[in-house]
Each structure stands twice: as C-alpha cells, then as structure tokens.
C-alpha cells in the first residue's frame, strides 16, 4: 500500500496516551438487526463514554501533546462532537479551549460544550464559516488551531478503533464508516488496509453533503455551495486536500445515502439494538438498507460513531410513519 500520512507504530503508541475509558469499546454481533438487513452486522459502539463520540480518541492525543509542550490554549471549529471532546481532554490538563460553532448546530451539543467549561463562540453560518473564524482566532491570539482531519492526531486517534476491529476473530468482510471531514475514515481505513487488506473499506455520506464522496470519485477536491442533511456531524463542504489524498489510498468505495435511509437506520438501531444515535452514526445501516444485494450473506462491521442528538428532533425522525 502507498503511504498515507498516518503511521501504524504511532497509532499503537497512541493507546498509551488515550484515557482507557475511550478504548476497547464494545464490539458485538447484533443478531436482532440481521433479519431486516440480510447480512451479519457487528456494531462498534463509540457512544459509551463521557462525550458520547469517538472524537476524544484524537483530542486526548492533541491535549497531551499541547500540555507536554507548555501550551496554554487551543481553538477549534466544531459541529459539536469535536468541541465536546477537546473541552473534556483539555480540562484535566489545564488548557483553555475556545470552540467555534454554527449557531444552527445541535443545541444539546452546544450546551455540553459550555458545561465542559469551554468558551463557545457562535457564527451566523455553517461549519465552513466556523472553520474560518477559528483560524482567525488562532492567528490573532497566537494559539494552537486544532483542525479536525488535517491534524494527524485526530486521524491516528480514530485509527485506534481500527486496531480494535482487526484484532477480533472472525474478521469482517467489510467495514462501513461514516465520512465527513475524513479523520475516522482515513484512520480506520489506514489500519484495516495495512493489517487486513482483504476487508473492504466503504465510506458512507449523505446525499445532502456529498463533497468528500464526489472528491473521492473524481480524485480531486470537489466543493459544494451548501449542505442539506440531518447528519450535521458529517456536513462539510470543502474537503482538505491532504485528507483526500489519504482517503484515496485506503477507501475501496464511497457511497451516498438518502435522508429517509438515515432515519430508517436510526429507527432500526433503536428498535433492534436499543441504541439512541445521532444521524451520522446510522450511515452504515443506511448503506445496507439501500443496497441489500451487495451485502447479502456477508459479515459487515459498522462504527456507531456518536450519540449526541437533540431529543425533540430525534423523536420526530424515528417516530413511525403514519
């Protein structure tokens, strides 16, 4: 395999830095899902932790490095999960955190960022505007800018999930990974292709936020003017070139799914697995629902990557259709 920016030895070493509460998350075959999906499905559950997403695997590395080098402050843009994770990881290491987010972000995520003692600045625009504002704050204040997916620690932290997946027996035929900025997909994909190359790495993105998938398919950065999806955690418009380069090396496929399939996936995870998940976490199930023939008779793993959701919206999404 050609070389990505990631390093497998660094990924193994990352496990010694990340708080153990974020490691070795539940991985289990959910037989109750199988009749409705037509394939064996194993869930890698990344919601049973203090920030209810996988993001802390990366922020633990970032915060540890900053503290070791005497840094005092850090700023990031976030749709909500990264901000929570960074605030959690930094709080115990004496770092001041500023999170820039869209004021249209999920209220529950914003409330949790505030509760974790981070400074929260809201912008009247989408995540890309938040990224621009975070960069401006970093320049003005002379502090570290954490850029999700570009900063290698966010990818290599996520890649520890891959170590846990490939270390299981029996192995999987395919891994379905939510695709947004690319940290999760490139991290897990790097490990899978390095250690279990026969496993198919399939990235999944909403049709309403297709920039990275279009970029992967065309092998060049493709941007979009807007996004339209309930899966706010993966709703980016401007892929990062270096991240796309990594994705091109590790992904076997990238697919787009409809909003109705995302909500159907959320309902299935609630009804058959007892899991309350945010839309991004149901993308893998949505991909199976839209292409049952592709996965029929196979053993598929999907990463349930986050559970931070506005409950009023959640109930609207998962309520049975009349």
Assign residue 36 a region (left: φ > 0; alpha: ψ between -120 and 50; beta: otherwise).
alpha
pTM for the predicted model, two decimal places: 0.97
Q: Distance between CA 72 and CA 146 in Å, rounded? A: 13
Q: List Cβ neighbours of 174 (8 Å cut-off, separation of 6 or more).
A: 199, 200, 201, 202, 295, 298, 299, 300, 301
User: In the chain, which residues have pLDDT < 50?
Assistant: 322
Q: What pLDDT, in 10s, does the model give residues 165-211?
A: 999 877 899 999 999 999 999 999 999 999 999 999 999 999 999 99
Tokens of 200: 């198919």
Please tell me the distance from the alpha carbon of residue 42 to that of residue 262, in angstroms, as a whole number.
Answer: 18
- Tokens at residue 23, please? 């490691």
294 is written with which tokens? 């592709």
- pLDDT attached to residue 171: 85
Give the H or E element holding residue 8: helix 8-14
Could you tell me if 299 and 42 are in contact, meaning their C-beta atoms sit under 8 angstroms apart?
A: yes
CA 240 to centroid of chain Cα atoms = 15
> How many whole angstroms separate alpha carbon 109 and alpha carbon 115?
10
Is residue 310 exposed (0-12), middle (13-18) or buried (19+ Cβ within 10 Å)? middle
pLDDT of 321 reads: 64
The DSSP bridge pattern shows strands 119-123 and 200-206 to be unpaired
Cα distance between residue 77 and residue 147, in whole Å: 7
Closest CA to 191 of 229, 163, 171: 163
Is 302 strand, coil or helix?
strand
Residue 117: count of CB within 10 angstroms of its CB: 12
Residue 138: C-alpha distances to residues 56, 100, 312 (Å)? 21, 11, 35
- Rounded-to-10 torsion of CA 12, 92, 139, 61: 0
| Cα distance between the two ends of the chain | 50
- The SS3 of residue 178 is strand
**Strands of the sheet with 40-45, listed across from one edge:** 27-29, 40-45, 299-304, 174-178, 200-206, 253-257
């Amino acid at each position: 395999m050609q070389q990505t920016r990631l390093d497998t030895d660094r990924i193994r070493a990352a496990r010694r830095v990340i708080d153990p509460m974020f490691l070795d998350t539940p991985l289990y075959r959910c037989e109750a899902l199988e009749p409705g999906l037509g394939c064996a499905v194993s869930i890698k559950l990344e919601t049973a932790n203090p920030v209810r997403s996988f993001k802390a695997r990366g922020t633990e590395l970032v915060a540890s490095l900053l503290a070791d080098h005497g840094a005092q402050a850090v700023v990031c843009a976030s749709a909500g999960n990264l901000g929570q994770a960074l605030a959690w990881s930094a709080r115990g290491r004496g770092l001041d955190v500023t999170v820039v987010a869209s004021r249209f972000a999920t209220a529950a995520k914003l409330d949790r960022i505030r509760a974790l003692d981070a400074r929260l600045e809201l912008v009247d625009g989408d995540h890309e505007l938040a990224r621009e504002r975070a960069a401006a704050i970093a320049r003005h204040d002379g502090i570290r800018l954490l850029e999700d997916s570009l900063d290698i620690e966010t990818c290599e932290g996520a890649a520890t999930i891959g170590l846990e997946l490939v270390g299981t027996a029996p192995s999987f035929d395919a891994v379905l990974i939510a695709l947004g900025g690319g940290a999760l997909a490139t991290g897990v994909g790097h490990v899978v292709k390095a250690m279990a190359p026969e496993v198919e790495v399939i990235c999944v993105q909403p049709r309403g936020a297709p920039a990275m998938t279009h970029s992967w398919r065309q092998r060049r950065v493709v941007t979009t003017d807007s996004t339209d999806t309930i899966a706010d955690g993966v709703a980016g418009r401007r892929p990062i070139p270096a991240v796309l380069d990594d994705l091109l090396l590790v992904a076997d496929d990238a697919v787009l799914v409809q909003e109705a399939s995302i909500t159907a996936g959320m309902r299935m995870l609630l009804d058959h697995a007892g899991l309350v998940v945010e839309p991004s976490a149901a993308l893998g199930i949505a991909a199976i629902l839209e292409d049952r023939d592709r996965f029929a008779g196979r053993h598929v793993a999907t990463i349930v990557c986050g559970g931070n959701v506005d409950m009023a919206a959640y109930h609207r999404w998962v309520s049975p259709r009349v």
